[in-house]
Structure 1
């Protein structure tokens, strides 16, 4: 295989599978040259072992030294700083990252999240009640996969229900691949303005929700978080907590409905839901553009020499289908013995909200199979429209009946 830079593989033969080119890259050139939309060249890492190695390597930085691997629309440092996302800790390295991570880790423990479980169950139940009352057919994306996580993240942050839709609209614009710089900045600053208003309201009228707790928190050094820091954290949680979970809810339902035997297993054996969620997370990916990283210093990954400053893209969807890590990785099996995957990354940047996402998925799929055991696609699987024009991959609509 030639080592000249190639674009990121995006063409899918089947909607639920990653691009087939990843199998060839893992076998022939697991760390390959990558051509980025802005004209720069970088590296694409495709094997599970190499991806996890890079995620824990001190020579690999999470700092966003290149703006995007998704589109040619880039922001200047000044535009990024003014957008309300400039202090997001997802793009920091220790010790800066450690300060925020330590502060937030306690907010996402299993014990604390259990307090939220009854409200998640109520939200899921309300959406399923509405589906049942309206009667078939329904759109599982519009009626279930989209509203559930947006309402949950609003509940977590203490966001008024009237504001949830506004945040969702801004997030959807930000996730589009085809948008102008002006549209992107308007969405980012619009979301930041909404979050700033929420932060100021929580300072005046605190409650027991996450933003209020962060307002009262004292990070390392005893200096409270500024409004800018709180806005960046809140915006990050909205994007991560809404868009990715909505995508995974829709894709997971589509995978189950197109693998009818797996759906029926969950209906017959509800105890399989927990392991089934782990298989959904491994088998599917809603982040086709991977995790962006930058080489902090000259280093080696997978036997390839990478120079300081080189962009690196870590492919989660390729790593989770690596046959060196998973037996029969292209088989969807809800009875598979759960093993460590990288759906939530790995190392110090492992997804902070992973336990919340797992809880939502378990509650949502458990309730769905109990309430609608006869649920089925209302159109042939190949006619389900996909969101190939978004940074978060998924189904645009899933017509179902029962």
Structure 2
């Protein structure tokens, strides 16, 4: 990368397309932006211009800046026709700021501590082994997304929340609509309403009969603190956790498997040395950055930045995938290196809204990485790599399907 690329190489619209033939790399233009002016004002699909922050240190800085508001949903900028003035749902942990956000986060933090997540490990191990057994029972090629990557985190989040897994097809189909950026507005509204009605019914049952699940404990904990959550607030929290709890991890399992199959020397090293699994998780999260369009924020006070002033009312995008490929933070960043110390990556965001479920995701990925490739050492693509379809139109990047096979 040169430090002074031509201005023609800089992005003017968002999101830019990924480089041809390099589906694991972020959108073109980021490298030029990092080396040139660091930020740029771009047109977004939602209909407003926004400042894109591209460098690692600066992405971290803006995500921790209290002068930014999360009142706009973190991915609104890539949804054409979205209402930027829409009233924030009560209980939205993604779109709340200040003390209200801090309160909601405190209520949830104890559910995702290292201790609590480690207690889930035996069950996660059991689920991974059961699904590998089911894979091995297949006689022909199998779609790793539907048979393995999607059901494991779906089962985990269902059991954690107290959502009947029998309803999984319903919520998986609806969440797929809600994370898409090109579905008709009326379909999104209908699905959102249906999912809200489903979650409201579940919350009311938990209010009547408390069980050993996250929603029940959340209800009790808020009552004990004399700030009981309303049904609307519990519905918002439940939907957020249900979608985030399976979409990101499911896509990471499938996409990282494909990335490893494309770098067999890295896969061999991981298979031969289980101790490599922990750094591998961090490196794959950095390398793939599945929250592909970054994080959207609104500026509440003027912020000086170099020769520019980002004015109150402006919007900005913290480009996580660009920060994760910043040469200043990660030498040779476009290479997948499982020995790299990449734990400071931005895949889970940064600042007060950093992903609550990162410990859980880490355990799920660890159990997959230490078991799947060892038990099926000849795992390989069942179709040409060029025929794999990628999710370019969803908030969470991944593959639509991953047909695989192995020696039997």
TM-score by length of 2: 0.93
In the other structure, the counterpart of 1:185 is: 189
SS of 1:44's partner is: strand
SS of 2:404's partner is: strand
What is the CA–CA distance in structure 1 between the aligned matches of 2:301 and 2:223, rounded to whole Å?
Answer: 30
What does the per-residue CA deviation read over 1:129-173, in whole Å, with 9 as the maximum and x for residues that have no partner?
111111331111121111111111101101111122211111011
In the other structure, the counterpart of 2:319 is: 315
- Among 8, 13, 24, which residue is 1:6 paired with? 13
1:343 matched to 2:351? The reply is no
Question: 1:388 Cα deviation (Å)?
Answer: 1.6
In the other structure, the counterpart of 1:146 is: 150
In the other structure, the counterpart of 1:262 is: 266
SS of 1:89's partner is: coil
- Among 356, 360, 373, which residue is 1:352 paired with? 356
In the other structure, the counterpart of 1:194 is: 198
Q: Are the counterparts in 1 of residues 256 and 284 from structure 2 also a CA contact under 8 Å?
A: yes
Name segments (4+ residues, structure 1) moved above 6 Å: none
Q: Are the counterparts in 2 of residues 138 and 399 from structure 1 also a CA contact under 8 Å?
A: yes
Q: Are the counterparts in 2 of residues 100 and 219 from structure 1 also a CA contact under 8 Å?
A: no
What is the CA–CA distance in structure 2 between the aligned matches of 1:202 and 1:370, rounded to whole Å?
Answer: 41
Question: 1:5 Cα deviation (Å)?
Answer: 4.7
In the other structure, the counterpart of 1:122 is: 126
SS of 1:305's partner is: strand
SS of 2:389's partner is: coil
SS of 2:94's partner is: helix
Cα RMSD, aligned residues only: 1.9
Unaligned residue ranges in structure 2 (runs of 5+): 1-6
In the other structure, the counterpart of 2:390 is: 386
Question: 1:8 Cα deviation (Å)?
Answer: 2.4
Cα distance change of structure 1 residues 302 and 189 upon mapping to structure 2, 3 Å threshold: farther
| Number of residues of Structure 1 aligned to a counterpart in Structure 2 | 398
What is the CA–CA distance in structure 2 between the aligned matches of 1:319 and 1:361, rounded to whole Å?
Answer: 22
In the other structure, the counterpart of 2:166 is: 162
Question: 1:347 Cα deviation (Å)?
Answer: 1.5
Q: Are the counterparts in 1 of residues 161 and 214 from structure 2 also a CA contact under 8 Å?
A: yes
What is the CA–CA distance in structure 2 between the aligned matches of 1:16 and 1:220, rounded to whole Å?
Answer: 47
In the other structure, the counterpart of 2:46 is: 38
What is the CA–CA distance in structure 1 between the aligned matches of 2:127 and 2:339, rounded to whole Å?
Answer: 28
Cα distance change of structure 1 residues 275 and 36 upon mapping to structure 2, 3 Å threshold: same
In the other structure, the counterpart of 2:101 is: 97
Cα distance change of structure 1 residues 189 and 294 upon mapping to structure 2, 3 Å threshold: same
